[in-house]
Amino acid sequence: MEDRYLEVWGDTVDKRHLLISIILGVGISVPVYLIADWLFGMLADGAVGHSYALLVGLAGCIAAAVVAARLFKPKRIVEVGTEHTGSREAAMDAIEAEIGPLGDPDELPRAALAEVKELGLYDDLKAQHEKNRRTAVETGERA
């Protein structure tokens, strides 16, 4: 069996569900628009009726989207991350490798210092800074 999942316009879809959704979208909104245009054409004059028909057509699109969303569930698996995975130290090492040292939290201005304390980042940042300093000293001694 061929795989069902495709990446279209930035997200994963099921190809059969996609086809049915498009048929629904066009199949509902176009007839709705054409009928509305015809009805308004009999009631009102030209341009105004034409515009109202457009609005009705748009409502058709939304209706089709609601139907499709009810029929087909998203092809996404959402995993809610946990607050502390214990990997913050690894994350810090990776970040420091990319943008440079996260620095000594005690050197932060007052507002930022209060912010990291409130976030519970202070101890980890301090530990990371101490670790870096120790490593720097050790490599310095060896050199």
Partner 1 sequence: MTALLEPTLWALGMALLGAVVFALIGLVSGTDETATVAPLTLLVILLGVPPAGVFAFFMASIAAKHVTHAIPTTLLGIPGDTMAAPLLRDAQMLRELGVPHIALRKAISGGAMAALIAVPLAVLFAWIITPFSDAISAVAPWLFLAAAVLIAVLSKGRWGALIALVPFVLIIVGLQQFSSDILGKGLSISFFLGIATGPLIADLVLASTPAGRRSMARPGPRVFELAADVRTWSGRMPNPAKVLDRTQFWGTAGAAAVSSATFVFSPVAMTVMMGELFGGRIKNGYRKLTTLMAVKNGTTESTYIAETLIPLIAIGLPLSPMAAGPANPLFNAPPVFTIDTETGATHNLHDLLGPWQFLVFGLLAVIIALLITYPFAMTQAHRAASWIMRHVSHEAIIGAFAGLIAVICLYEGGIVAILVAVTVGLVGGLMNRLFAMHTGVQFMGYYVAALTVPAIGGLFS
- Is residue 64 at the binding interface for partner 1, with CB under 8 A as the rule? yes
- The residue from 1, 77, 97, 143 that contacts partner 1 (CB under 8 A) is 77
* Residue 36 contacts residue 56 (beta carbons within 8 Å): yes
Q: In the structure encoding, which two tokens stand for residue 34, read together?
A: 């054409």
For residue 23, the minimal CB distance to partner 1 (Å) is 8
- The residue from 39, 44, 102, 127 that contacts partner 1 (CB under 8 A) is 102
- Is residue 119 at the binding interface for partner 1, with CB under 8 A as the rule? yes
For residue 16, the minimal CB distance to partner 1 (Å) is 9
- Is residue 41 at the binding interface for partner 1, with CB under 8 A as the rule? no
Least Cα distance to 126 among 100, 138, 108, 99 occurs for 108
Least Cα distance to 4 among 69, 61, 72, 65 occurs for 72
Q: Which amino acid is at 60?
A: G
Least Cα distance to 55 among 39, 71, 70, 68 occurs for 39
Closer to partner 1 by CB, 42 or 143: give it: 42
Closer to partner 1 by CB, 42 or 99: give it: 99
- The residue from 42, 118, 140, 142 that contacts partner 1 (CB under 8 A) is 118
